[in-house]
Amino acid sequence: MGTNSLAKVHGEWPQRLLHVESMTSYERKSDNTYNGHKEPRYNILTYTWGRFPGSKHDCSITVAGIDWRIPAVRPDHFTIGEFEHTIKTIGREQDVG
């Protein structure tokens, strides 16, 4: 179980939030609504996308709701499966409903 608690956001909201269960990215609407949920609680996992050049054969995670290619995960750092497992674990650790 995580040790961080989710707090109410004051001020700026992220441009997009990832619905972890469906692995779908939703863009923020003008009233801080994402897929019909106004100002939802959320968790944050930071990751530096594309910092290290990868091979065109490196794989990336799959996220619905976007029209750009997600940079590859370097398998010598961690596998796609490990990265997806981490995302899903963090998403389950807090009651974000």
Ramachandran class of 5: left when φ > 0, alpha when ψ lies in -120 to 50, beta otherwise = beta
pTM over 0.95: no
- Residue, of 57 and 35, whose pLDDT is higher: 35
pLDDT digits (tens, 9 = 90+) for 44-61: 888 766 655 666 666 788
